[in-house]
Amino acid sequence: MTSTSTTTLSTPRLVIYACGAAFVVLLASIPAFAGSYLTSFVLALMISFVLAQSWDWVNGQMGYLNLGHFAFYGIGAYAFAILLTRGVQIVPCFAAAIFFASLAALLVSLPLFRLKGDYFAFATLAIVPLCELLANNFEGLTKGSEGITLPPDYVLVPAYILAALLVALTLATTLWLMRSRFGYALRAIRNDEQVAEVAGVRLFPYKAATLMLSAAFAGLAGSIQAWQFSYIAPNTMFNLGVALVPIAGALLGGSGLLLGPLFGMVLFSSLEQALLVKMSHLREAVLGVVIILIGRFLPGGLLRAKWISRHDLLSWLSRESHFEIGGHRHATAGERLPLVHREVDTDRIVLECQGATMAFGGNVAVNNVSLKIRQGEIVGLVGPNGSGKTTLFNLISGIYRPRSGRILIEGRDIADFRADEITRLGIGRSYQIPRPFAELTVRENIAIGRTFGASKTKLLESMRTADIFANFVGLGGLLEQKAELLSLQQKKALELARALAAEPKLLLVDEVASGLSTVEIAAFVKHIRDIRDQYGITIIWVEHIFSALSQVVDRLIVLDSGAVIADAPLAEAMRDERVLTTYLGHAAGEAK
Ligand code: ADP
Ligand code: MG
């Protein structure tokens, strides 16, 4: 597998680079041989591409649908025009376009990123009309609806060259996003924001930085376009109909793909040029039809069409590029996990809950829970369905805040810690209903856990060593498999690998044995024991299958209706009347 995958990649890679180089040469030479009509058409196309691609960093990579992206283009154009007409040198004018567009992005980030999904998209729809209103009304600065006329220099060729450089920079940035730790933060957010945070991704800075990056490119694109137009007005720079064109282009080509926005925008602009020169008033209708057709027949865009992704050469058009990072190493069986060994010191308290209480409305899910977990212990946490086990895990990992009481990790109160900080303190967890990053591979899932978690390993190194963790949980052969294609048990195994890779001190395992065969359960029990014995990791294991639990736990904590009703060494807990009736009453039968 190792060698075949590298050799089959190398020929098309050459072709791609050759095509890329030819494309750049062709693009750069257009002003030399083409007339000004074609040159300005290609210039407008390049600007649209920059808009489409920078929009797609937020949408295709991070999963936020921003319908207000075009406003940053207008803001850049206005910042540039206002300063240029006041006699400022050209370079600071371009710098101002970048600066004000990203500043605007930072300002809107604060309220916008409190919203999710459709609410976010809907709120962003207001940005372009709002900017148009402002541009119309701040007449002292913008000359209102009259617009700004720039010095009538002939700047088509320099504007063209600048736009071509911006296109190259845009492509390079996309490639960087595909392959960098930063980009993985975005793809984790796109797949499951809450899990991303628990994996250690600090959400807001990534989201704001991405919106600012996309705004900076849009702002520069706007200033180049303003320079070439030599006249701007609110109704062209903040026009909602035009605003949606780059979005439609990116969706047409394939949002999230390396070449999707480029392909879509070229196709879309050429079509528009061919069909709509005389009927530009139909643009919105055509846009709508295009988006409906894509949604109906080609969800994911043209480049994700089956006949393209299955074709030897063409499949390169549909690649996402991030899958091949770190080579294709495969671990040998029994290879030691690259984790530090922690000396077991049972006098150390890893976790302490002091009267922790959590309620959903009137339903008290965790009721005044106090407990201490010592380093190197394996503790079984049991109780009937709905007794608050998962909620307690959610409190410890910072997804919920206790209504009262405290939670201390190695003596530190975590009341003010975000979920990502708690992870970096050394808390790892799995989810009862598995939540791997569905669109990413097994390797990538594990690498994200490793690079953003307490281990803080570099991305490349995390990718290279992911196979050892995958092997450990029995997913060795599935490294390049997308997580969404795994079976339920494989997803649970992946969660364990992702949590382990983060290098936790305390691992919270939420029901992994149900649905496993006896042999698989035995293997799993061995994993839990190895994790503690070989690496000194403390474990709290929530499990219904008592026969599995009883093989390995030192101590049992029993919850009933959110309260601790027993906390004792295994043998002792099993003699407790209350424990036997509330929990072990049915589980003990199963254990036999
Ligand atoms: P367990 O994991 O022990 O089965 P949970 O912690 O999932 O129990 O649930 C404890 C109680 O809290 C249950 O009554 C459950 O319905 C309630 N609960 C859990 N999560 C939520 C939530 N997000 N919203 C409302 N109620 C919840
Ligand atoms: Mg549960």
Q: How far is ligand 1, taken at its centre, from the CA of residue 400, in Å?
A: 12
What local confidence, expressed as pLDDT, does residue 11 receive?
58
What local confidence, expressed as pLDDT, does residue 418 receive?
96
Shortest-distance Cα residue to atom 23 of ligand 1: 360
Residues 368-391: pLDDT tens digits? 999 999 999 999 999 999 999 999
Average pLDDT of the chain, as a whole number? 89
User: pLDDT band at 5, cuts 50/70/90?
Assistant: very low
Determine the Cα–Cα distance for residues 121 and 124; give it in Å rounded to an integer. Answer: 5
- Map out the domains of the chain with their CATH numbers: 11-318 (1.10.3470), 349-426+504-591 (3.40.50.300), 438-503 (no CATH)
The answer to whether 467 touches 478, Cβ cutoff 8 Å, is no
Q: Which atom of ligand 1 is nearest to the CA of 392?
A: 6
Amino acid identity at 124: T
Ranges 23-27, 72-76, 354-358, 449-453: which has the least confidence: 23-27
Q: How far is ligand 2, taken at its centre, from the CA of residue 432, in Å?
A: 6
State CA 88 to chain mean position distance.
Answer: 40
Q: Are strands 427-429 and 506-510 parallel, antiparallel or unpaired?
A: parallel
Task: Describe the chain by its helix, strand, coil percentages, rounded to 5.
Answer: 60, 10, 25
What local confidence, expressed as pLDDT, does residue 13 receive?
66
What local confidence, expressed as pLDDT, does residue 309 receive?
79
DSSP, res 472 = H
User: pLDDT band at 8, cuts 50/70/90?
Assistant: very low
What local confidence, expressed as pLDDT, does residue 323 receive?
55
What local confidence, expressed as pLDDT, does residue 506 receive?
97
201 φ/ψ sector (left φ>0, alpha ψ -120 to 50, else beta): beta
Q: Alpha helices, DSSP H only, in 64-202?
A: 69-85, 90-112, 117-124, 127-137, 139-142, 156-179, 181-191, 193-198
Q: Which atom of ligand 1 is nearest to the CA of 366?
A: 10
Q: How far is ligand 2, taken at its centre, from the CA of residue 433, in Å?
A: 9
Q: Is the pLDDT of residue 195 over 80?
A: yes
Q: How far is ligand 2, taken at its centre, from the CA of residue 384, in Å?
A: 9
Please provide residue 567's backbone torsions phi and psi, each rounded to the nearest 5 degrees.
-150, 95
Q: Which atom of ligand 1 is nearest to the CA of 387?
A: 3
User: pLDDT band at 9, cuts 50/70/90?
Assistant: very low
Shortest-distance Cα residue to atom 24 of ligand 1: 360
User: pLDDT band at 1, cuts 50/70/90?
Assistant: very low
Shortest-distance Cα residue to atom 12 of ligand 1: 365
Stretch (H or E) spanning 446? helix 442-452
Ranges 236-240, 408-412, 428-432: which has the least confidence: 236-240
The answer to whether 383 touches 582, Cβ cutoff 8 Å, is yes
User: pLDDT band at 109, cuts 50/70/90?
Assistant: very high
Residues contacting ligand 1 via CB (< 6 Å) = 360, 363, 365, 383, 385-391
Tell me which of 12 and 362 has the higher pLDDT.
362
Shortest-distance Cα residue to atom 19 of ligand 1: 391
The arrangement of strands across the sheet holding 563-569 comes to: 427-429, 506-510, 538-542, 378-382, 555-560, 563-569
> Best mutation site among 194, 357, 358, 360 for ligand 1, i.e. most ligand atoms within 8 A of its Cβ?
360
Tell me which of 18 and 174 has the higher pLDDT.
174
What local confidence, expressed as pLDDT, does residue 279 receive?
59
